[in-house]
């Protein structure tokens, strides 16, 4: 086990974040689990791993600075950053206000940006570090009636890849993990835009059907621990992959979607969710 085992993780109180924190703990890592709803403090005496909860909001730069300062005061370093905090909003593009679209990006994209901005100077001065961001296969497959979610996840992917180039001289590696459907609390916590719930919306029927199909796929999808294993694999690699897609099924889908013309891709996605 490497001594580079201090992890700063966001969105760690539930779902994939919680599963990742617990897996890392069982493998000897000290995980500072940051979330708005405090995670549970845990210790694994057999492997000397632990989860230390931090109350933090990725959209609040002051709370981020406070949480990072607490870790630095206790540990003096941060070896691994995992940006996992996220949420989902559903509604046709026309039924999504600018404020609602911004809400989606504030957590999924700018939340990642905020945390990375706070931790980059630390890793740059250390001349080492690993940054893992959580995107989604929705970042390359446009999901109807969840267009702003897809757009935010696509933004995370491009952001991470650009960061990888810029941080190479400082020996800081970056990996974007892009899971497919996963069985987590994300399904139940998905929000709907206000206009999408109005009786006069021309999109509601189709939106409800599409989101219902997505929810079914999620609840029959990968378990969070399977995705967290892919994250642990990347952490343990001497050289992380630029992009990691957990699960053979989604690797095949990703490969296939890169080969087919966009017109056919959009046709297939339309049929899947209608």
- For 61-105, the DSSP string reads HHHHHHHHHHHHHHHS---EEEE-----EE--STT--HHHHHHHH
User: What per-residue confidence (pLDDT) applies to 242?
Assistant: 95
Question: How far from the centroid of its chain's Cα atoms is residue 156's Cα?
Answer: 8
Catalytic-residue membership of 135: yes
Distance from C-alpha of 128 to C-alpha of 122, rounded to nearest angstrom: 9
Angstrom distance (rounded) from CA 245 to CA 255: 10
How distant, in Å, are the alpha carbons of 24, 30, 76, 237 from that of 47?
10, 10, 21, 20
pLDDT at residue 108 in the model:
96
The size of the chain, in residues, is 274
Q: Which of 13, 136, 150, 201 is catalytic?
A: 13
Is 33 annotated as catalytic? no
Q: Of 18, 50, 130, 153, which residue is the catalytic one?
A: 153
- The number of angstroms, rounded, from the C-alpha of 260 to the middle of its chain's C-alpha atoms is 26
Tens-digit pLDDT profile for the chain (274 aa)? 457 799 999 999 899 999 999 999 999 999 999 999 888 899 988 888 999 999 999 999 999 999 999 999 999 999 999 999 999 999 999 999 999 999 999 999 999 999 999 999 999 999 999 999 999 999 999 999 999 999 999 999 999 999 999 999 999 999 999 999 888 888 788 999 999 999 899 999 999 999 999 889 888 888 999 999 999 999 999 999 999 999 898 899 888 888 889 899 899 999 989 8
DSSP letter (8 states) at residue 142: P
Domains of the chain listed by start with CATH number: 6-272 (3.40.50.720)
Give me the pLDDT at residue 4, please. Answer: 75
Q: Which residue in the list 135, 136, 164, 228 is annotated as catalytic?
A: 135
pLDDT number for residue 186: 81
Which of 149, 203, 250, 273 is labelled catalytic? 149
Q: Which residues contact 94 (CB under 8 A, 6 or more apart)?
A: 195, 203
Using the structure block, give the residue that is written with the tokens 């989860």: 51
Question: Whole-model pTM?
Answer: 0.93
**Catalytic: 149?**
yes
**Res 101: pLDDT:** 96
Counting DSSP H helices and E strands in the chain, the numbers are 10, 10
Give pLDDT, residue 1: 45
CA distance 93 to 238: 42
- Angstrom CA distances, 144 to 156, 167, 178, 185, stand at 19, 34, 18, 21
């Amino acid at each position: 086990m490497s001594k580079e085992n201090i992890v700063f993780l966001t969105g760690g109180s539930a779902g994939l974040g919680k599963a990742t924190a617990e897996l890392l703990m069982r493998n000897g890592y000290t995980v500072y689990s940051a979330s708005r709803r405090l995670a549970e403090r845990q210790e694994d005496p057999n492997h000397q791993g632990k989860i230390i909860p931090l109350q933090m909001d990725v959209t609040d730069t002051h709370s981020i600075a406070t949480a990072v300062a607490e870790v630095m005061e206790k540990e003096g370093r941060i070896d691994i950053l995992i940006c996992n905090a996220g949420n989902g909003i559903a509604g046709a593009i026309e039924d999504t206000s600018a404020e609602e679209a911004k809400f989606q990006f504030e957590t999924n994209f700018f939340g990642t940006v905020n945390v990375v901005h706070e931790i980059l100077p630390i890793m740059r001065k250390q001349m080492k570090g690993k940054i893992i961001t959580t995107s989604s296969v929705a970042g390359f497959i446009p999901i109807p009636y969840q267009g702003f979610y897809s757009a935010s996840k696509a933004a995370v992917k491009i952001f991470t890849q650009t960061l990888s180039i810029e941080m190479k001289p400082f020996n800081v590696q970056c990996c974007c993990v892009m899971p497919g459907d996963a069985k987590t609390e994300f399904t139940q916590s998905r929000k709907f835009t206000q206009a999408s719930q109005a009786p006069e919306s021309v999109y509601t029927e189709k939106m409800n059907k599409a989101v219902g199909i997505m929810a079914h796929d999620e609840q029959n999808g990968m378990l969070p621990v399977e995705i967290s294993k892919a994250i642990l694999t990347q952490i343990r690699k001497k050289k992380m992959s630029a992009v990691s897609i957990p699960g053979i099924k989604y690797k095949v889908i990703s490969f296939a979607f890169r080969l087919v013309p966009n017109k056919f891709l959009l046709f297939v996605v339309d049929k899947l969710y209608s």
